Chains A and B, each alone.
Chain A
């Protein structure tokens, strides 16, 4: 009889870790938050990073982490139902299996903002990857100057994370301004696009770092408004979204000029990507 020695299968960077869904919460009519139990494979993450989430039998998509980086026992992702995979994901229930790879990518450069004012500008679902940064900023509030969150949504019904927004405004030392693109009668808040909030927001432009996430057109208009206010281009950071597949810089799907968004981003200094963002094709 021949004995076969036990072998260890080396883990592949493309192999997802099977995890369990802990909870799925509806945020708005087309967005939801997925809380995942990482089991004994919790890896932590830095704000701005993303995971590849695999709905078995359907497909894999990159989703930014929207949770608190201090909570290592839970992976939280917020996304919008826009394709086959995210629609299937929205149907997952407690205990369902889901594959996780990551975290990947360069995070928000919070260390470069120490001692400075921080202007966080979010558009739509772009608040999700910025929420992680805000959790950390609030936890280290005394390390920063003025902290301002300018958040633009499509309509009042599309506003995400209302409890967080209220808490940050009320007790966390964050100035929160919310605006919507469209509203009817009863909405008491701002109406207008989010770049219009920049001119009068309470921060010192000469000493501020800006973090922007949202649709690319919104980010371009926002960056322009920040520069008109006096924020240096090299202190403006944007989070880009491209068709990420491998997430480790091998496949080239997310190539963006000389960079791979998955590996060199998703967070970039604006001066590095500004010209590329203006091109029709790259």
Chain B
């Protein structure tokens, strides 16, 4: 069975993370599995984790009364879900629902925040990686907003 250290170092998000940091991160990690339809997290609840998807897919959704949930994006193998654990008040803004059986590594946000506070170099390393994910999601969201396939591309 593959160790958590091996899984984390093989995931795109932690690619080339120095071993001393990897050791610190592993202490906050656990393997999790969701069946299709299970929620990874739900809007308004405390954001204590984020997830590195290993297999499967999950949808980031928002619910509105009287209509089916609106899917904002789907995320799959090699991707990261969740950054609300980093930013007060540490509450999820959206739902994340597994679309099929999904295996992931859950990283405990409280645990990581504590380690980042104690070691700012680790904090910088993690924030840089999360910022990169946020930048790509923001670009994608902006393109989505432009509705380029509409009648006024």
Tell me whether B136 is interfacial, beta carbon within 8 Å.
yes
Asked if A18 is an interface residue, CB under 8 A from chain B, the answer is no
Q: Does B77 contact A (CB under 8 A)?
A: yes
CB of B61, distance to nearest CB on chain A (Å): 8
0/1 per residue, B45-71, Cβ < 8 Å to A? 000000000000001000000011111
Taking CB as reference atom, which chain B residue is nearest A80? Answer: B151
Q: How many residues of A contact B (CB 8 A)?
A: 32
For A152, give the chain B residue with the smallest CB separation: B149
Residues of A within 8 A of B59 (CB): 191
Contact residues in B for A193 (Cβ distance below 8 Å): 140, 143-144
Bound-state CA distance A27–B69 (Å) is 27
Chain B 138-153 near chain A by CB (<8 Å), digits 1 or 0 = 0110011011111101
A196 at the interface (CB under 8 A from B): yes
Q: Which of A88-130 contact B (CB under 8 A)?
A: 123-125
B149 touches A153 (CB 8 A): yes
Q: Is the CB–CB distance between A124 and B148 below 8 Å?
A: yes
Which residues of the partner chain A approach B69 to less than 8 Å between Cβ atoms?
184-185
Known interface pairs A191-B59, A191-B73; A123-B148 also in contact (CB < 8 Å)? yes
Residues on A with beta carbons closer than 8 Å to the beta carbon of B99: 188
- Write out the residue numbers on chain A whose beta carbons fall within 8 Å of the beta carbon of B139: 221
B143 touches A158 (CB 8 A): no
Q: Give residues of chain B (113-143) contacting chain A, Cβ–Cβ below 8 Å.
A: 136, 139-140, 143
Is A195 on the interface with B (CB-CB < 8 A)?
A: yes
Inter-chain contacts of B70 with A (CB < 8 A)? 182-184
B9 interface residue (CB < 8 Å to A): no
CB within 8 Å for A215 and B149 given contacts A184-B68, A192-B140: yes
List 6 extra interface pairs beyond A196-B140, A214-B149, A217-B143, CB under 8 A: A154-B149, A182-B71, A186-B68, A195-B140, A214-B148, A218-B148
Closest 10 CB pairs between A and B? A185-B68, A124-B149, A215-B153, A154-B149, A215-B148, A192-B73, A191-B71, A184-B68, A193-B143, A183-B71
Residues of B bordering A, CB below 8 Å: 59, 67-74, 76-78, 99, 136, 139-140, 143-144, 146-151, 153
Chain A contact residues, CB within 8 Å of chain B: 82, 123-125, 152-154, 158, 179, 181-193, 195-196, 199-200, 214-218, 221
